[in-house]
């Protein structure tokens, strides 16, 4: 048992905190990446039952097949190193490879809160302290009373997301699960889910050892109580000023409520600047207790401000009980010259209408004359963990091109969503933003971008994988590509073979769940990239992403097109990263050729194949586009071939498509799936009643698929909770909002159902069977989920069958008022069920979350095998039997 040490951290309210350096650890247990989102993070321990440190637990990694608790010490700097040198890791790897290195551990830390001394004011005792917890590279954590506390068995663990990617995100603010005693120390147990992942920690052999070491960092402090709302500088956004003008239109000020509901009512410049003003966006920005948001300010500028070094801004806030308050901040203005020395420029724009977002650009060496066409930009996708805004090695590694801008998006954060979803949207949006910035001033005309916004792609590691992703999803927008050190897909990077759920799951359920990965599997979509000029690079001794990934990607491309313009360059003896990877003459010549205004066009081939899964997640290939599929959740393919005087189209799972370029001149014969049709007078075809027919209009498809589709929002997400929300429901909303900010810097607003009004963005509804908003919203649909009567009142039903009280449901639905948005429902009557479905909110890639999931308590011990039902909806949000499992 950990013994509390003397208090080491004191708050301004007089309370003090002690953290034991003696930690209890249980492990290792086999697990695949992201599986802890289904399993209980405390697996195999049930934290609602007494814990016996003498109990041994089954683990196939240990000699004898069992493991037990052991003690380790936390380092002085808060680092926790967990390793198991007695495990024969090399033997496990001999048959299971990297998958065997990934494992799960449970860590227990003892905390003690000490009351203010007796000679301090009694007012201090009335201020119950909060904890500020920063967990780096740990998956989840939960705070509970110690086992000796009489209320321990009544407490349901609430699992908070750790900063697993070590992005430097804001810490979580926690209320203590039970109020600390005012006359003696009170102890608590902090449980941590420690999960070793190859992508996070790498191959231990790279450090000269067979033993993987989990390296997590824990910082726990008592939160300040002197200020109820604080300025969070890490969330500030400011662009550079070029020739005295803002290089963008967005400024953001980070604000966080540490206690109470606050509303940002306005913002202003403290010292006015002639010809320069800031406009506060919105009627008010609400801050839930503990929530951080970035206040959006739009720049209006009529003249340069070359003599201004600081923007002094006052934020105005209101609280129903405390009244009005202000917070002052000063932002340093960085001045640069467009015609000056070559360097980096930080630009800004509004993501999702109102989220201030920064990105970095490197300008071209030469201007384009007024008569010449501008050169295409280079869109550079960074690797996982790389901060494009502050880490110079990434822009320094990219070659300077004579007439092409290099655009370096953040992807929302240093890890982002693996360049999918909102990370991809951010990347494309930066290109549009730069084009608009350069077009905003006549003096910058010579630096302009082409109107078509086509790009040459370059990326390393996760960015190299993102490059394959972009060129196979938006082939008509990508002129050429240089993917370097790329993995082909996550399941190939580290296989799922050590999954715990695989020993219990119905194979059909596994198929439905893993179909949620399909849209991310680059290899399945490489038919789309088979006609894009590509220079693929990989170090021959890469110990982070094995070199076979790029070799295999090139092989797949050449299977689709034997004559593909794909060059593979393997650098013998080089590892994962080497500074000159993009600076050699061969790479620069390739980039110069394909960014030039007189670059060769992609030749329309005699035959090609377009692959899609979700029609909204991509664009066209030679103008052809799959508009809708017959069975959502399955791949769709469209092959176009010019044969003699005919254009022959063969489809698979395609319901509607758009006709693009045709190789043959005139009016050739047109054949679709063996059916002869007139040469297209219109460009749209739809399959109906066994026949292909031309249509006059584009066939629309729903815009959001899988649970992660909720993240692709046209505006800030709205999280709706019941008016009489329980502490568990408020905690769920708060944790989701914090996760959105931590993982993606996505903005969200938490509102009560009676205060809700339909906004532009997507909606997340948290509730129970008695929640008025949830029942009203679901009542708009005649869908798979609805409320029905039961003996004990209304209960959520799945296809007419009532859910059990201990079950939880999380599912996507259409927005009730606009097709451009969606709703996500989180419904649970039981606090444990609510916590389980909250963990399934898609804050990371690689979580098997299709359109809906109903889960039961069994998931805590067998993972995804405890899912009761799961699947994809059809095009109209109805039951899709072909892609559904369960009852």
Mean pLDDT along residues 764-786: 86
pLDDT exceeds cutoff 80 at 759: no
Listed as own residue / partner, the contacts of 487-490 with beta carbons closer than 8 Å and 24 or more positions apart are 487/461, 487/462, 487/545, 487/549, 488/522, 488/523, 488/549, 488/550, 488/552, 488/553, 489/465, 489/517, 489/520, 489/521, 489/522, 489/523, 490/33, 490/418, 490/517, 490/520, 490/845, 490/846
- Which residue is listed with tokens 């072909």? 882
- pLDDT tens-digit map of 619-663: 899 999 999 999 999 999 999 999 999 999 999 999 999 999 999
Residues whose CB is less than 8 angstroms from the CB of residue 581 and which lie 6 or more positions away in sequence, other chains included: 397, 460, 484, 485, 537, 539, 571, 574, 587
**Mean pLDDT, residues 111-140:** 84
Q: Where are the extended beta strands (E) located within 117-226?
A: 130-136, 140-145, 160-161, 172-175, 186-196, 213-222
DSSP letter string, 671-734: EETTEEE---SSSEEEEETTEEEEESSPPP--S--TGGGGG--SS-EEEEE-TT--HHHHHHHH
pLDDT band at 11 (very low <50, low <70, confident <90, very high): low
Tell me, what's the pLDDT at 772? Answer: 86
Overall average pLDDT of the 872-885 stretch: 94
pLDDT band at 77 (very low <50, low <70, confident <90, very high): very high
- Which domains occur in the chain, in start order? 9-222 (no CATH), 227-337 (2.60.40.10), 363-594 (3.40.50.1820), 617-695 (no CATH), 707-886 (3.30.379.10)
Burial of 642 (0-12, 13-18, 19+ CB in 10 A): middle
- The mean-pLDDT minimum among 137-146, 151-160, 416-425, 731-740 falls in 151-160
Q: Please state whether the predicted TM-score (pTM) of the whole model is above 0.85.
A: yes
For residue 108, the cross-strand partners are 24, 191
CB-based contacts of 567, cutoff 8 Å, min separation 6: 534, 535, 536, 590
- Render pLDDT for 780-807 as a digit per residue (tens, 0 to 9): 777 789 888 766 667 888 888 888 999 9
**CA 189/CA 195 separation, integer angstroms:** 19
3-state DSSP call for residue 160? strand
Tokens 């491309």, residue located: 557
Tokens 């406009």: give the residue. 279
Stretch 461-487: mean pLDDT: 98
Percent of the chain with pLDDT over 90: 82
- Over residues 73-87, mean pLDDT: 97
The pLDDT of residue 2 is: 35
Complete DSSP assignment for 768-781: -TT-HHHHHHHTT-
Residue located via tokens 């705070």: 143
pLDDT in tens, 562-608: 999 999 999 999 999 999 999 999 999 999 999 999 888 899 999 99
pLDDT tops 80 at residue 3 = no
Concatenated DSSP letters for 401-421? PSS--EEE---SSSSTTTTSH
Token code pair at residue 266: 């306005």
Mean pLDDT of 692-711: 90
Find out whether 850 and 883 touch, Cβ atoms under 8 Å: yes
pLDDT tier at 701 (50, 70, 90 boundaries)? Answer: confident
Number of residues in the chain: 887
Amino acid 120: pLDDT: 57
Q: How much is the average pLDDT of 94-118?
A: 94
**Which residue is listed with tokens 């551990």?**
105
User: pLDDT category, 281, cuts 50, 70, 90?
Assistant: very high
Angle between helices 421-439 and 462-473 (to 10 degrees): 80
Residue 121 pLDDT level (bands cut at 50, 70, 90): low
Residue 317 structure tokens: 């806030």
42, two tokens: 């405390």
- What confidence category does residue 122 fall into, taking pLDDT thresholds of 50, 70 and 90? low
User: Can you list the positions of beta strands (E) in 601-645?
Assistant: 607-612, 625-629, 636-643
What mean pLDDT do residues 491-513 have?
Answer: 96
pLDDT band at 5 (very low <50, low <70, confident <90, very high): very low
- Per the listing, tokens 């360049």 go with 419
Residues 807-862: tens digit of each pLDDT? 999 999 998 888 889 999 999 999 999 999 999 999 999 999 999 999 999 999 99
Q: What is the pLDDT of residues 27-36, one digit of tens each?
A: 999 999 999 9
How big is the CA angle at 498 (ends 96 and 37), to the nearest 5 degrees? 150
Enter the DSSP assignment of 9: E
366 has a pLDDT exceeding 90: no
Q: What angle do CA 141, 137, 548 make, to 5 degrees?
A: 135
pLDDT above 50 for 503: yes
Q: What is the pLDDT of residues 241-256, one digit of tens each?
A: 999 999 999 999 999 9
Q: What is the pLDDT of residues 316-333, one digit of tens each?
A: 999 999 999 999 999 999
778 confidence band (pLDDT: 50, 70, 90): confident
pLDDT band at 758 (very low <50, low <70, confident <90, very high): low
Chain centroid to CA 403: 33
Residues contacting residue 637 through CB under 8 Å, at least 6 positions apart: 527, 609, 610, 611, 612, 651, 652, 653, 654
**3-12, 185-194, 448-457, 524-533: range with lowest mean pLDDT:** 3-12
Of the candidates 482, 361, 368, 480, the one whose C-alpha atom is nearest the C-alpha of residue 431 is 361
Q: What pLDDT is attached to residue 529?
A: 98
Question: What is the C-alpha separation between 300 and 213, in angstroms, rounded?
Answer: 52
What's the Cα-to-Cα distance from 142 to each of 106, 193, 242, 273, 841, rounded to whole Å?
11, 9, 47, 49, 17
What Å distances lie between residue 51 and 30, 68, 144, 851, CA to CA? 21, 12, 13, 37
Mean pLDDT of 91-118: 95
pLDDT at 153: 84
Cα–Cα distance between 660 and 676 in angstroms, integer? 18
pLDDT at position 6 is: 45
**Considering the chain, what percentage of its residues have pLDDT values greater than 70?**
97
């Amino acid at each position: 048992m950990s013994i509390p040490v003397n208090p080491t951290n004191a708050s301004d309210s007089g309370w003090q905190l002690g953290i034991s350096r003696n930690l209890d650890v249980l492990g290792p247990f086999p697990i695949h990446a992201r599986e802890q989102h289904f399993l209980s993070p405390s697996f195999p321990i049930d934290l609602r039952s007494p814990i016996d440190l003498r109990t041994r637990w089954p683990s196939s990694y240990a000699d004898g097949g069992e493991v037990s608790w052991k003690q380790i010490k936390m380092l002085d700097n808060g680092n926790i190193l967990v390793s198991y040198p007695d495990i024969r890791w090399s033997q496990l790897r001999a048959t299971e490879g990297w998958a065997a290195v990934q494992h799960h551990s449970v860590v227990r830390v003892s905390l003690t809160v000490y009351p203010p001394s007796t000679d301090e004011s009694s007012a201090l005792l009335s201020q119950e302290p909060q904890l500020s917890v920063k967990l780096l590279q740990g998956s989840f954590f939960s705070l509970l009373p110690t086992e000796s506390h009489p209320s321990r068995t009544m407490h349901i663990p609430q699992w908070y997301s750790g900063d697993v990617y070590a992005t430097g995100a804001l810490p979580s603010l926690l209320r203590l699960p039970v109020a600390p005693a005012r006359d003696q120390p009170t102890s608590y147990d902090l449980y941590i889910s420690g999960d070793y992942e190859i992508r996070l920690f790498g191959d231990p052999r790279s450090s000269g050892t067979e033993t993987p070491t989990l390296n997590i960092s824990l910082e726990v402090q008592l939160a300040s109580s002197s200020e109820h709302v604080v300025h969070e500088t890490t969330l500030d956004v400011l662009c550079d000023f070029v020739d005295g003008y803002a290089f963008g239109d967005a400024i953001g000020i980070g604000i966080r409520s540490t206690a109470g509901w606050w509303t940002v009512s306005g913002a202003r410049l403290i010292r006015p600047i002639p010809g320069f003003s800031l406009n506060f966006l919105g009627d008010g920005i609400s801050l839930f207790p503990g929530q951080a948001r970035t206040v959006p300010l739009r720049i209006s500028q009529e003249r340069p401000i070359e003599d201004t070094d600081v923007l002094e801004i006052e934020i105005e806030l209101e609280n129903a009980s405390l009244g009005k308050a202000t917070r002052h901040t000063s932002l340093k203005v960085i001045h640069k010259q467009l015609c000056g020395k070559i360097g980096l420029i930080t630009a800004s724009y509004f993501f999702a209408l109102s989220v201030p977002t920064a990105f970095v650009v490197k300008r071209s060496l030469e201007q384009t004359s007024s008569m010449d066409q501008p050169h295409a930009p280079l869109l550079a996708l960074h690797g996982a963990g790389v901060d494009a805004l502050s880490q110079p090695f990434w822009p320094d590694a990219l070659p300077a091109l004579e007439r092409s801008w290099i655009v370096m998006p953040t992807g929302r954060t240093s890890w982002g969503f693996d360049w999918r979803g909102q990370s991809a949207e951010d990347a494309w949006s930066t290109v549009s933003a730069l084009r608009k910035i350069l077009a905003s001033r006549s003096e910058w005309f010579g630096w302009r971008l082409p109107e078509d916004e086509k790009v040459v792609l370059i990326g390393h590691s996760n960015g190299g994988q993102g490059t394959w992703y972009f060129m196979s999803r938006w082939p008509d927008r990508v002129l050429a590509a240089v993917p370097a050190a790329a993995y082909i897909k996550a399941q190939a990077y580290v296989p799922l073979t050590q999954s715990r759920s695989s020993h219990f799951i119905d194979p059909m359920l596994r198929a439905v769940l893993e179909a949620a990965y399909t849209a991310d599997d680059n290899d399945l979509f490489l038919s789309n990239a088979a006609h894009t000029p590509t220079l693929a690079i990989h170090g021959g001794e890469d110990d982070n992403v094995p070199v076979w990934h790029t070799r295999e990607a090139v092989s797949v491309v050449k299977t689709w097109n034997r004559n593909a313009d794909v060059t593979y360059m393997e650098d013998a003896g080089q590892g994962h990263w080497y500074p000159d990877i993009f600076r050699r003459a061969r790479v620069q010549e390739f980039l110069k050729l394909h960014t030039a205004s007189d670059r060769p066009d992609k030749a329309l081939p005699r035959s090609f194949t377009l692959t899609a899964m979700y029609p909204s997640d991509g664009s066209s290939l030679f103008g052809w586009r799959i508009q809708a599929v017959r069975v959502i959740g399955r791949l769709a393919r469209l092959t176009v071939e010019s044969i003699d005087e005919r254009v022959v189209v063969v489809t698979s799972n395609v319901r509607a498509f758009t006709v693009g370029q045709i190789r043959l001149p005139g009016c050739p014969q047109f054949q679709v799936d063996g059916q002869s049709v007139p040469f297209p007078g219109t460009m749209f075809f739809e399959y109906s009643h066994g026949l292909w027919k031309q249509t006059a209009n584009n066939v629309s498809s729903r815009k959001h698929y899988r649970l992660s589709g909720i993240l692709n929002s046209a505006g800030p997400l709205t999280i709706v909770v019941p008016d009489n929300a329980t502490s568990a429901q408020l905690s769920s909303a708060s944790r989701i909002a914090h996760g959105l900010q931590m993982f993606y810097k996505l903005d969200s607003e938490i509102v009560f159902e009676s205060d809700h009004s339909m906004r532009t963005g997507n909606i997340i509804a948290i509730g129970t069977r008695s929640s008025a908003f949830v029942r009203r919203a679901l009542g708009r649909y005649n869908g798979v989920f609805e409320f029905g009567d039961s003996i004990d009142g209304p209960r959520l039903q799945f296809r007419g069958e009532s859910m059990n009280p201990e079950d939880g449901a999380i599912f996507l639905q259409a927005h009730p008022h606009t097709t451009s948005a969606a709703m996500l429902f989180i419904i649970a009557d039981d606090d444990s069920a609510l916590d389980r479905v909250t963990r399934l909110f898609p804050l990371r890639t690689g979580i098997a979350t299709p359109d809906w999931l109903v889960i039961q308590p069994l998931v805590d011990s067998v993972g995804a095998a405890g899912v009761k039902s799961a699947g994809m909806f059809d095009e109209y949000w109805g039951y899709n039997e072909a892609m559904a499992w369960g009852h």
